[in-house]
Amino acid sequence: MTTPPPLYQHISERDTARILGLTKRVPLTPESMAAGLRVTFFPITSASEQVRAFAERLREALLSCGARVLEYSAAAAPARPGKLQEDLIIIAAGELATGNLPVDHVQSLRTTTIVGIVDGPCPAVEETADQEKLDRIVQTLSWSIVQVAIYVDADHWTITTMNGAVIPCPQRGSFAQDVLNVLVPKLAAPVVPPRAADFDLRPGVLDLNDPSLRPYVDDFVRSGPVWQQTGLLLYHTSMEELQFRNAWYKRIAAAYLDHRSGMSYGFLARQMASTYHPSWMEREEADEVVLRLAGDGFPISVPGVWVLTTRSGCDKSRIDPLKDLLLMGLSRGRVVIATPRGLNPQIDSKPSYDTQTILAHAVANALIASLLNMLHTESRFSSMIAGNGAALAHWHGYIPKAAIPPGYTVHGTANPPVSCSTYQAALFAFAGKIGAVAECLKNGATFEGDIHVEPHHGVNVTGPSLLDLARWAIDKVVDRPRTVLSQQRRAIGQ
């Protein structure tokens, strides 16, 4: 019998899949991710020698990583003249002509990832403010309709993605290893906006005036001005502010984004107390899984979890509950989304890109609380989940070591740098939190909360309330906005 990978050390792959609603196996290492890639290179029409040489070097590196590289003619869809097969990575080097962009040849952007290779240094480096850096990145991606852009100069090749990552890699470093450990995870687990069809939607059933919800709603409203002071939550990038080559490409981008008004970065979420259950949702029998700790198995009931969150794209510093909040639930692997009663139909109420990761944190919190109660430990964390739920905040930045609260554990720094909207990110959040508690129990330490690091991206921080987290960030984290864009110019392995 083979030893299970660290992710499934404390809970089986089968149980994890059932809890999170996974329907297929998810690659979790750079090597397994690379083995699943099918790559083709778009025909070059105009490119510098520097870009051409880089593209060839990248082709060889991907092959050495175990990716399958197809000739462009072999990647054609047999029944769709002029179109390419699905489940491809398309790499386009150099200047791209309107009317003959890679996106003109794909069947679906949701099943295809397009990478552009651009001559010259990353333009985000020219900006000093993080918001401007982010805007420059997104503008480049939207102009050529690519999900990843690689800038190539004499000293570096710099990866940029839709979620704001900027990762410079040295030209003279270990190129093949950087391709495997940095680029491959972003190709195998790209940013894919969730769609309405992915969820069990319950429009107009959420009563935000329900007395049982008022403390949670008030937490969003009261914490908003404090979050604004932190400078940690970057603003909404509107579709109307982006430049597209023509209206057709704008429509393609809008469809890919599930017709959202744009993109925002970071989220705020408030997990309900474990006793909460919405009146409009039928109760389902709780599932049961086994947690393994120190050789012992503990059968744990898996309850449905409910989380009030900000909708995608809202101003998180000025929350208007009736238009900016929605309720998400995870029950027996099914994700439920409920929107507020009386919501203006003009409001773009879409769930966060990070929906799966948010719910993975919430269900892990519930399992941990049950486990600690079963072990009869005096746990403030269990009492918090039972009586008040928990808060979760995500921003594109990191946290100084000195700011980590007592009793908190940090996990995720060694994970492959996947995008936050992926099942990989949800699995890393879920397993990392459970693994952190197991380590605390092994060492006789208390578990008060955790900081989940998403490499090249940011952090998810659990706490008692959003207001508490915002005040902590002001007091301990922020001497200036420590966003990921300014920090990623350090070692790529961070």
Burial readout 371-400 (b: 16 or more C-beta within 10 A, e: otherwise):
bbeeeeeebebbebbbebbbbbbbbbbbbe
Neighbours of 304 (CB within 10 A): 22
Is it the case that residue 43 has pLDDT exceeding 80?
yes
Neighbours of 210 (CB within 10 A): 13
Dihedral (C-alpha) 403, 431, 312, 488: value to the nearest 10 degrees?
50
Neighbours of 44 (CB within 10 A): 15
**Please, which pLDDT band fits residue 131 given cuts at 50, 70 and 90?**
low
Stretch 421-425: mean pLDDT, rounded? 90
Measured CA to CA, the distance from residue 333 to residue 284 in angstroms comes to: 11
- Alpha-carbon distance values, 246 to 82, 144, 252, 259, 359 (Å): 20, 11, 10, 17, 38
Q: Which of 32-36, 191-195, 350-354 has the highest mean pLDDT?
A: 32-36
**Please, which pLDDT band fits residue 124 given cuts at 50, 70 and 90?**
confident
CATH number for region 196-487: 3.40.225
Which of 94-103, 151-160, 240-249 is predicted least confidently? 240-249
Q: Mean pLDDT of all residues in the chain?
A: 89
Nearest to 321 by CA among 282, 347, 294, 287: 347
Measured CA to CA, the distance from residue 202 to residue 340 in angstroms comes to: 9
Would you state the pLDDT for residue 490? 33
Q: Strand order of the sheet with strand 156-161?
A: 68-70, 38-41, 88-93, 112-119, 148-152, 156-161, 166-170
Which of 17-21, 131-135, 223-227 is predicted least confidently? 131-135
Would you state the pLDDT for residue 107? 93
- 325 vs 420 pLDDT, higher one: 325
Q: At what angle do helices 355-374 and 423-443 cross, to 10 degrees?
A: 20
Kindly report, residue by residue over 439-458, the tens digit of the pLDDT: 999 999 999 999 999 998 89
Would you state the pLDDT for residue 128? 54
Stretch 5-16: mean pLDDT, rounded? 90
Query: What percentage of residues in the chain have a pLDDT greater than 70?
Result: 91
Is it the case that residue 4 has pLDDT exceeding 70?
no
Kindly report, residue by residue over 44-99, the tens digit of the pLDDT: 999 999 999 999 999 999 999 999 999 999 999 999 999 999 999 999 999 999 99
Total-model pTM:
0.92
- Which ranges in the chain are annotated with CATH 3.40.225? 196-487
Is it the case that residue 481 has pLDDT exceeding 70?
no
- Which ranges in the chain are annotated with CATH 3.40.50? 36-188
Would you state the pLDDT for residue 270? 98
Neighbours of 92 (CB within 10 A): 24
CATH topology of domain 36-188: Rossmann fold (3.40.50)
Would you state the pLDDT for residue 480? 47
Measured CA to CA, the distance from residue 481 to residue 487 in angstroms comes to: 10
Which of 33-37, 121-125, 271-275, 466-470 is predicted least confidently? 121-125
Would you state the pLDDT for residue 491? 30
Is it the case that residue 17 has pLDDT exceeding 80?
yes
Nearest to 385 by CA among 275, 254, 459, 460: 275
Which of 11-20, 111-120, 419-428 is predicted least confidently? 419-428
